[in-house]
Amino acid sequence: MSDRPAAPELFTWEFATDPYPAYAWLREHAPVHRAKLPSGVEAWLVTRYGDARQALADQRLSKNPAHHDEPAHAKGKTGIPGERKAELMTHLLNIDPPDHTRLRRLVSKAFTPRRVAEFAPRVQELTDRLIDDFAERGSADLIHEFAFPLPIYAICDLLGVPREDQDDFRDWAGMMIRHGGGPRGGVARSVKKMRGYLLELIHKKREAPGDDLISGLIKASDHGEHLTENEAAAMAFILLFAGFETTVNLIGNGVYALLRNPEQRERLQDALAAGDTGLLETGVEELLRYDGPVEMATWRFATETLTLGGQEIPAGDPVLVVLAAADRDPERFDGPDTLDLARRDNQHLGYGHGIHYCLGAPLARLEGQTALATLLTRLPDLRLGADPAELRWRGGLIMRGLRTLPVEFSASH
């Protein structure tokens, strides 16, 4: 055995609070590392930028959990989504070409950058309304009062969920985010209610289409092919599911990073005051690189034995690409642990890479930019309302973000 220092402990409370020292160790000493996950499953963690980018684009790494060579005793208990075979789980993030190509092409016809751009005034209105609710108070919890409701209302609006039903979605999503890895009962009930609601909504929109994304999904056709109602429901669900907690954490982690880097935050505020949005655009990308919401890309499974970063990965083994580690790789980024909102050469992996590259990136950028610019402009003296050591992080396998973000500011009207 070598005399290298012992591997850091992963998936502990300290790791959720600050995983970056452990990632630096892995990149250096064990860039493709077999780790035991909290569920007991063993998976390969890929932490270097070059290997990560290669793995994300490697078609031998399938997204379909059927390729997992699961030990019999662990069947159904691995926590790998899709292994439970719920109806909503046959979606983009669990399938490979050619099915993936077909479904992605169909959804891309409805979920276009143009539709997102037209949605900008609504995101601004929602952002302002949420800030109005606490601006006079002088303090707030930015996760619960801002970062959490904004994306859920935004996606509901985009999908065409009537306003009067959106608080139900807020509750179901809240249950899913709070108990993601916890008690199954409440989460399963919330997913079931969401599915029931979405199927009914799809049915109604088929009868009376509107100008919304669900109507667009129903109408979308490709060489005469359409989504079935079940496929459309699974698609609406994955848009909610993939676009919700990610955006909560983009806003939460992003505001936190800005508050911890006052010089950078001041530069951004000055640029915004001068009407220059260039720094906002590069800044949101940098926040994604620096402390992005998706810690590890979703599961992949080796369909054949392959070699990655010099390590042999046997067929059937699960692989997790650690985006957060790759995006701090000093081989790829200058001063990777420094937040530089003006960073130019910034091909980060925060949205993934290859055929599963985030479909919602234009919406995430719109929400992230609107949220940060409006907060910093309307509450210019925004500051942390707690000692950073007291803040608690929610560290799942896939996602990482703050549980609460108490802030203070001069009350405004």
Site for ligand HEM in 95-114 (CB under 6 A): 104
SS percent in the chain: helix, strand, coil, step 5: 55, 10, 35
Work out whether 155 is an interface residue with ligand HEM (CB under 6 A): yes
Work out whether 227 is an interface residue with ligand HEM (CB under 6 A): no
Closer residue to ligand HEM (CB): 294 or 409: 294
Site for ligand HEM in 56-75 (CB under 6 A): 56
Closer residue to ligand HEM (CB): 155 or 175: 155
Q: How far apart are CA 306 and CA 175, in angstroms?
A: 39
Write phi, then psi, for 229 (nearest 5 degrees). Answer: -60, -40
Q: How far apart are CA 298 and CA 397, in angstroms?
A: 9
Closer residue to ligand HEM (CB): 198 or 409: 198
Indicate the residue whose CB is closest to ligand HEM: 360
In 177-314, which ranges are E strands? Answer: 221-222, 225-226, 300-302, 306-308, 311-313
- Spatial CB neighbours of 14, under 8 Å, sequence gap ≥ 6: none
Work out whether 356 is an interface residue with ligand HEM (CB under 6 A): yes
Site for ligand HEM in 295-354 (CB under 6 A): 297-298, 323, 350-352
Work out whether 248 is an interface residue with ligand HEM (CB under 6 A): no
Q: Which position among 238, 257, 371, 397 is part of the footprint of ligand HEM (CB under 6 A)?
A: 238
Identify whether the C-beta of residue 302 lies closer than 8 Å to the C-beta of residue 313: yes
Closer residue to ligand HEM (CB): 96 or 340: 96
Work out whether 364 is an interface residue with ligand HEM (CB under 6 A): yes
Which residue, 359, 297, 356, is CA-closest to 158?
A: 359
Identify whether the C-beta of residue 247 lies closer than 8 Å to the C-beta of residue 367: yes
- Spatial CB neighbours of 245, under 8 Å, sequence gap ≥ 6: 176, 177, 180, 293, 399, 401
Work out whether 93 is an interface residue with ligand HEM (CB under 6 A): yes
Closer residue to ligand HEM (CB): 54 or 138: 54
Q: How far apart are CA 156 and CA 208, in angstroms?
A: 18
3-state secondary structure of 357: coil
Closer residue to ligand HEM (CB): 243 or 318: 243
Contact stretch for ligand HEM (CB under 6 A) within 43-51, 180-188, 358-366, 401-409: 358-366
113 cis-preceded (ω within 30 degrees of 0): no
Closer residue to ligand HEM (CB): 91 or 205: 91
3-state secondary structure of 72: helix
Work out whether 233 is an interface residue with ligand HEM (CB under 6 A): no
Q: Which position among 292, 309, 318, 401 is part of the footprint of ligand HEM (CB under 6 A)?
A: 292
Work out whether 80 is an interface residue with ligand HEM (CB under 6 A): no
Q: Which position among 52, 88, 92, 371 is part of the footprint of ligand HEM (CB under 6 A)?
A: 92
Identify whether the C-beta of residue 45 lies closer than 8 Å to the C-beta of residue 33: yes
Q: State the helix-helix crossing angle for 229-260 and 278-291, rounded to 10 degrees.
A: 100
3-state secondary structure of 46: strand
Closer residue to ligand HEM (CB): 15 or 299: 299
Query: Tokens representing 311?
Result: 């390590």
Contact stretch for ligand HEM (CB under 6 A) within 38-46, 117-125, 220-228, 287-295: 287-295
Q: What is the 3-state secondary structure of 230-241?
A: HHHHHHHHHHHH
Work out whether 198 is an interface residue with ligand HEM (CB under 6 A): no
**Closest approach of ligand HEM to the CB of residue 235, in Å:** 8
**Closest approach of ligand HEM to the CB of residue 101, in Å:** 9
Closer residue to ligand HEM (CB): 46 or 364: 364
How many Cα atoms occupy the beta-carbon half-sphere of 23 within 13 Å? 25
Closer residue to ligand HEM (CB): 56 or 258: 56
Work out whether 252 is an interface residue with ligand HEM (CB under 6 A): no
What is the contact surface with ligand HEM in residues (CB under 6 A)? 56, 92-93, 104, 155, 238-239, 242-243, 246-247, 250, 288, 292-294, 297-298, 323, 350-352, 356, 358-360, 363-364
